[in-house]
Amino acid sequence: MNLFSLISLLVVMAALCSYLNYRYIQLPTTIGVMVTALVASLLLLAAGSTATGIHAWATALVGRIDFNEAVLHGILAFLLFAGALQLDVGELSKEKWVIGLLAVVGTSISAFLVGLGAYIIFRFIGLQLELMPCLLFGALISPTDPIAVLAIMQKVGAPKRLEIQIAGESLFNDGVGVVMFLTLLELSKGQATPGVGDVTLLLVREVGGGILLGLAAGLLTYYMLRKVNEYQVEILLTLALAMGGFALADALHFSAPITAVVAGLFIGNHGRAFAMSAKTREHVDTFWELLDGILNAILFLLIGLEVLVMPFHGRNFLAGLCMIPVTLLARWLSVGAIVAPLRHPLSCDRGTVRILTWGALRGGISVAMALSLPISNAREPLLIATYVVVIFSIIAQGLTVDQFIRWILGESKSVGNGVAHGLDTDHGWQPVPRSPVRSASPGGVRSPSPSSWAPDDCSTSCE
């Protein structure tokens, strides 16, 4: 099967899963696609000898897909750029301390706590893993995925400030998580123990280089956009920026995810305001929203299909189940350690810690990093633990986060009235007067849709 046939088959399968979900299951699109693919995979596994031919064909098909390469060096570039393109830097800057602390400090704390917990649990179960592989697991499982939960938060009328925080943190903690993972992976391969200066230099090169490259590539694209007034050419330039910037960062050993986010923020704000006509803005938004939806469907399809090639064994699976509460506890502690003591300086209100904990879904980037682990006695248990945590996160947390948000915020009266609300701790629920995310239509404000997770306005509320 050649590359075109493989991609065609994935698109057809994603389309069929999306159709079945829309007509019969009616879950959020990304979750529904993954659940449909997962159920189909489990049925093939359960069928055993009665469907040997189909099972062998499906397993061979999934085995041909390099999930790590497809996600970390392909799909991720488009998803991060598309997400950053829709965020308003002005609104993002209001939450810069919350987002920055959660993305850097929070992710680091979570990675350490998960790694320590994994080390203890794996050894208790009888899996003799060293501390370094466990820390690698902590780094790969700590980044969060906002794709499904933000559409749900819009639907239930959750405080929009939380959408900004979750979207902003998720965009940047993907980059931080990848940098941490690659740094630890590099250290685990070294013969000599590196010093603090070596680690610091590696982090500065990855993060600083990614930021500078994103700004430089975004600035170059901005000047090119100012010289043309043809939306087909301008869309192509944004596509070149997302793909070329990501590939160049990879080649220079900078953080490619951070490059994509910085470039997307620059073009989505400065470029949109000063280098695009209204018609171009409409077409650019529509193109990237559509591409984002298609690639997310394919990504979650792949997550569901990966069960066909996962080496499930008793103790590995048990370890994965045990890591579910550990990752949730680590997330709660890492968020609480930042938000609780700084609630008043950061203007955070009641509800944030619990919502940011339960609403922090894990996704394809964690599975991709786990699949990139080198062959060792630690790879199989860490891979299974990652997959179990990701599946639980997407299904259990993703399908209950709406009820959870309603319960936390006591928001039962205002849901469904079509007006976004925010929680004011002194005056109760107040209507939000404006939307910070620019429009995908000539009329101005883009109405929220289940297929787009970009936040549409910002009010106040947290815990």
Note the pLDDT tens digit of each residue in 181-225.
888 887 777 655 556 666 777 778 888 999 999 999 999 999 999
Top-confidence residue, 118 or 313: 118
pLDDT level of residue 117 (50, 70, 90 thresholds): very high
- Residue 146 scores a pLDDT above 90: no
Q: Which helix (H) or strand (E) holds 276?
A: none
Residue 345 inside a domain? The answer is yes
On the CB side of 319, how many CA atoms lie within 13 Å of its CA?
Answer: 32
User: Rounded mean pLDDT of 321-332?
Assistant: 95
The CATH number given to whatever domain includes residue 165 is 1.20.1530.20
- Residue 400 scores a pLDDT above 50: yes
Residue 103 inside a domain? The answer is yes
Residue 417 inside a domain? The answer is no
Show the tokens assigned to 86: 């829709």
User: Rounded mean pLDDT of 9-17?
Assistant: 91
pLDDT level of residue 226 (50, 70, 90 thresholds): very high
429, β-bridge pairs: 423
Burial grade of 417 (CB within 10 A; 0-12, 13-18, 19 or more)? exposed
Burial grade of 187 (CB within 10 A; 0-12, 13-18, 19 or more)? middle
Residue 171 and residue 150 in contact, taking contact as beta carbons nearer than 8 Å: no
Show the tokens assigned to 462: 């947290």
Residue range(s) defining the domain that contains residue 142: 67-409
User: Rounded mean pLDDT of 117-126?
Assistant: 92
Residue 261 and residue 246 in contact, taking contact as beta carbons nearer than 8 Å: no
How much is the pLDDT for 434? 35
Number of structural domains (the chain) is: 1
Distances (CA, A) of 1 to 15, 74, 98, 270, 386: 20, 20, 48, 44, 29
Residue 202 inside a domain? The answer is yes
Q: pTM for the complete prediction?
A: 0.79
Query: What's the distance, Cα to Cα, between the start and end of the chain in Å?
Result: 52
Per residue in 237-277, pLDDT (tens digit) is 999 999 999 999 999 988 898 999 999 999 999 898 898 99
Show the tokens assigned to 223: 């000047």
Collapsed DSSP state (helix, strand, coil) of residue 161: helix
How much is the pLDDT for 332? 94
Residue 144 inside a domain? The answer is yes
Q: What are phi and psi of 456, to 5 degrees?
A: -105, -15
**CA pair distance 280, 235, nearest whole angstrom:** 8
pLDDT level of residue 347 (50, 70, 90 thresholds): low
User: Rounded mean pLDDT of 350-366?
Assistant: 85
User: Rounded mean pLDDT of 287-315?
Assistant: 86
Burial grade of 404 (CB within 10 A; 0-12, 13-18, 19 or more)? middle
Query: Dihedral angle at the C-alpha atoms of 90, 448, 161, 151, nearest 10 degrees?
Result: -130
- Residue 158 scores a pLDDT above 80: no
Residue 32 inside a domain? The answer is no
Residue 313 inside a domain? The answer is yes
Residue 27 inside a domain? The answer is no
Question: Biggest alpha carbon distance in the chain?
Answer: 64
Hey, which of 171-185, 342-356, 376-390, 424-438 has the most confident mean pLDDT? 376-390
Residue 165 and residue 102 in contact, taking contact as beta carbons nearer than 8 Å: yes
Per residue in 65-88, pLDDT (tens digit) is 888 888 888 888 898 899 888 888
